[in-house]
Amino acid sequence: MLAPDVAHRYLALADDRLPGFVTGLHLVGSAAIGAWQPGVSDVDAVILTSRPASTEDLAVMAAIHTEMGEPHFDGVYLSPELASTWPDDRRVAPFAVGGALVTDRPCGELTPVVWLILRKYGVAVRGPAPDVRVDHGNLRRYLLDNLGGYWLTQAARIAEALPAITDELIDPDVVTFHVLGPARLHYTLAYGDIISKSAAGDYLAKLFPAYADLAARAIRRRAGEPEVFTRADLAAAGQSVTAVVEDAQRRF
């Protein structure tokens, strides 16, 4: 089943149980930028609604997301008020992640990165392309805060954990995650555009040739090929995170 098929299945359920509620649905994430992998990727969407969700609406929405199963159908719900302002402050709003609806905590999908993807690459499944506003100053601050906060903390945790790690082989997904993630953000800072995780590996290799081999192996792992990563690779992954963050802080 392809990403648009998943979205149409969701719409069939929503229209049956909440008639007139979903007025627009636009794919973002990997399905929008041509990096969606069947059996691996979830489906991410921006869902426009005709009204703010009531308690009863939320209960139905939660049941629908659970029933969807895998691949998970995730995304953020925008009431008419939110869709008129395109907030990027991660305020509390209904959103689904990992196939579960969340209603009581800040929404990580209300960010300038999601709006940039929607504006440039969003795939309309229902409704016309929305007039998305991207605040590029907020986008730059968001990316730098994410790099200097989350990612630099991750690099420090790796360095702290390494002396106690006795296993030579490391979970390949952990290494791949750290090799490819920060480079995507660096690329957006440099070019104002979005690339896939695999493309971020190529970008990292050009940015820091010392990590080219590690990046190539991470790309192959991302594509589903068997790759073995060692404790030394995890150390290098942490170092690559620091290198990318420090370069971004210096340049942007």
Question: Do both 84 and 197 map to the same domain?
Answer: no
- Give the structural domain span for 27: 3-126
Residue that is last in its domain, among 97, 126, 155: 126
CATH number at residue 60: 3.30.460.10
Question: Do both 114 and 149 map to the same domain?
Answer: no
105, part of any domain: yes
CB 77 within 8 A of CB 52: no
Question: Do both 175 and 107 map to the same domain?
Answer: no
Q: Specify the number of domains making up the chain.
A: 2
Question: Do both 104 and 172 map to the same domain?
Answer: no
Question: Do both 113 and 33 map to the same domain?
Answer: yes
56, part of any domain: yes
pLDDT at 157: 97
Residue that is last in its domain, among 72, 96, 126: 126
84, part of any domain: yes
pTM: 0.90
Question: Do both 46 and 142 map to the same domain?
Answer: no
Question: Do both 107 and 165 map to the same domain?
Answer: no
Q: How far is CA 208 from CA 101, 146, 243, in A?
A: 39, 20, 8
Residue 177 CB neighbours (<10 A): 16
Question: Do both 120 and 63 map to the same domain?
Answer: yes
> What tokens appear for 182 in the block?
């920060």
Question: Do both 61 and 154 map to the same domain?
Answer: no
| pLDDT tens per residue, range 76-100 | 999 999 999 999 999 999 999 999 9
Question: Do both 104 and 166 map to the same domain?
Answer: no
| pLDDT tens per residue, range 177-223 | 999 999 999 999 999 999 999 999 999 999 999 999 999 999 999 88
Question: Do both 104 and 11 map to the same domain?
Answer: yes
102, part of any domain: yes
Closest Cα partner for 25 from 9, 52, 47? Answer: 47
Widest CA span of the chain, in angstroms?
A: 57
27, part of any domain: yes
Residue that is last in its domain, among 103, 126, 149: 126
Which residue ranges in the chain fall short of pLDDT 50? none
pLDDT at 37: 81
Distance CA 47, CA 45 (A): 6
> What tokens appear for 82 in the block?
């939110």
DSSP string, 141-161: HHHHHHIIIIIHHHHHHHHHH
pLDDT at 1: 66
Question: Do both 93 and 202 map to the same domain?
Answer: no
131, part of any domain: no
13, part of any domain: yes
